[in-house]
Amino acid sequence: MPPDGSTKTPRTGRRPGESSTRESILEAARRQFAERGYVGATMRSIAKEAGVDAALVVHFFGTKANLLSEAVEWPFDPDVEMPKLLAGGKRHVGERIVALVVRTWDQEGARDPILTLVRAATIEPKAAEMLGDFLRKRLFAPLMERLDSDQPELRTTLAASQLVGLGLARHVLRVEPLASAKPAAVVDWYAPTLQRYLAGKLG
Amino acid sequence: MPPDGSTKTPRTGRRPGESSTRESILEAARRQFAERGYVGATMRSIAKEAGVDAALVVHFFGTKANLLSEAVEWPFDPDVEMPKLLAGGKRHVGERIVALVVRTWDQEGARDPILTLVRAATIEPKAAEMLGDFLRKRLFAPLMERLDSDQPELRTTLAASQLVGLGLARHVLRVEPLASAKPAAVVDWYAPTLQRYLAGKLG
């Protein structure tokens, strides 16, 4: 899942045509995970849509959890967004991270893979691990390092628990008035929480 | 789902034996929803475990979403807990509600039905509506009324988004150090957030 959305460089030794078959499977997987969810999409149904044998999907990707991890394209690139989160100074990091998350979740195309992952994470430990790894390693670890706050792992967890809860409430449970609120209002409501979790006094 | 866990009073006109059949189906449903999740448990598999025909399950409960709503037993009684949430005064409501939620989620038997519901809510709109209705009507509406805060519906949503996110992070995604933290520490970390959402300045 390279951030620019390019296809992966095939490993050496791969036969010609292999990488395009692989890519067809990934495309079918992305569509099916988004439409049917992690449980509804099966290795067999994905193979069928890609026009290949199910055994080939297993050969390339092993397990469904691994196929999910290869298929998900993160909707933003942490290396690009990270400097922006801190561009306003430490005092504005809470506001900035809520704005980033609301902007990302509010775009339907960007929201689908995250929703697929969050849904999968509630039932499949490997998907939960994968979601946790991305959030920790790619997003929060570099952020916490630059913020230089104490208890970085705890802060990561607290922040993630609120951001995932916000996404669920706004886009899955769709509770009002949150579901229809303007992004700027959502940022106002949640920014103080994230500011405290990331850089404030924890209690 | 009567708070004391008693079986329901059968409607008049029901044949003898009907209520015990109904109860067997509900017991099988509770077990299967907890073990297999909302997607994995089917009307057919629940009927089989209860030793009845699947058509009878449909006759009694209509849809799987409705069966879920009848089977879930809320792990605490809002009418009992509500006065306790306010017993320390308005300034302590954030701390008290986090303590209640942590205590409830920390008991495995009480956690299962909530997890089933939260998981079901991420894929099934009717389950989401049901979860939202319980939280809003039975828990937050009476609480907000007594607190007399402005924007009660918005505050309900904000609080629920954090409490659901906390439950997911601690018990489903099981991220550390939150997953193994002592209840009192969890209360310290989250109480200021809930206090602001329920009774503070929103932004």
B131 to chain A: closest CA residue: A173
Is the CB of A123 less than 8 angstroms away from the CB of B128? no
Greater model confidence, B96 or A6: B96
Residue A203 is nearest to which of B173, B189, B202, comparing CB atoms? Answer: B189
Q: Which residue of A has its CA nearest to B151?
A: A177
| CA dist list (Å): A67 to A52, A109, B39, B59 | 15, 19, 20, 40
Q: Give the gap in angstroms from C-alpha A19 to the nearest C-alpha of chain B.
A: 33
What angle do helix axes B54-61 and B64-71 make, rounded to 10 degrees? 70
Greater model confidence, A10 or B34? B34
Does the pLDDT of residue B10 top 50, yes or no? no
A203–B188 C-beta distance less than 8 A = yes
Residue spans of chain A under pLDDT 70: 1-17
Q: Which residues of B touch A37 (CB under 8 A)?
A: 39, 123
A179 CA: distance to closest CA in chain B (Å): 9
Asked if A189 lies within 8 A of B202 by C-beta distance, the reply is yes
Going by C-beta distance under 8 Å and a sequence separation of 6 or more, which residues neighbour residue A6?
none
User: In a mutagenesis test of the A interface, which of B157, B174, B186, B198 is the best target, namely the one with the most A β-carbons within 10 Å?
Assistant: B157
CB contact (8 A) between residue A121 and residue B153: no
- Is the Cβ pair B154, A160 closer than 8 Å? no
- pLDDT-derived band at B158 (thresholds 50, 70, 90) equals very high
Out of B40, B153, B196, the one facing A192 most closely (by C-beta) is B196
Instruction: Give CA–CA dist A192/A92, Å, rounded.
Output: 9
- In chain B, the residue whose alpha carbon lies closest to the alpha carbon of A133 is B175
Decide: helix, strand or coil at residue A69. helix
The CA distance from B48 to B112, in Å, is: 22
Instruction: Calculate the average pLDDT of chain B.
Output: 85
Query: What separation in angstroms does the CA of A116 have from each of A38, A92, A133?
Result: 7, 30, 16
Contacts with B193 from chain A: Cβ below 8 Å: 162, 193, 196
The better pLDDT of the pair B197, B114 is held by B197
pLDDT tens, position by position, B131-151: 887 788 878 888 998 899 999
**Pairwise CA distance, residues A198 & A150, whole Å:** 9
Distance of CA A104 to the CA centre of its chain: 10
Percent above pLDDT 90 for chain B: 45
Min mean pLDDT across A9-18, A117-126, B18-27, B180-189 is at: A9-18
Instruction: Report the half-sphere exposure of B65 (CA within 13 A, side-chain side).
Output: 12
**B128 or B50, which is more confident:** B50
The whole-number pLDDT of residue B12 equals: 47
Question: What is the rounded radius of gyration, in angstroms, for the C-alpha atoms of chain B?
Answer: 19
The predicted structure's pLDDT at residue A128: 82
pLDDT over 90 (residue B111): no
Residue position matching structure tokens 């209509």:
B62
**Residue B193: its pLDDT value, please?**
98
Which value does ipTM take for this structure? 0.79
What's the confidence (pLDDT) of residue A16?
57
Peptide bond into B83 cis (omega under 30): no
- Please, what sign has the CA dihedral across residues B201, B99, B143, A158? positive
Structure tokens at B120: 């079901």
Kindly report the number of other CB atoms within 10 A of residue B69's CB atom. 20
Nearest CA distance, B154 vs chain A (angstrom) = 6
| pLDDT per position as a tens digit, B49-86 | 999 999 999 999 998 888 888 887 777 787 888 889 99
pLDDT at A11: 47
pLDDT of residue B99 exceeding 90:
yes
pLDDT at site B71: 85
Q: Tell me which residue in A118, A170, A189 faces B122 most closely, judged by beta carbons.
A: A118
Please say if the pLDDT value at position B24 is more than 80: yes
CA distance A147 to A198: 8
- Nearest Cα to A138, choosing from A78, A75, A98, A81? A78
The reported pTM is 0.80
* A171: nearest CA partner in chain B: B122
Work out the end-to-end distance of chain B between its first and last CA atoms, rounded to an integer number of angstroms. Answer: 38
Residue B114 has pLDDT above 90, yes or no: no
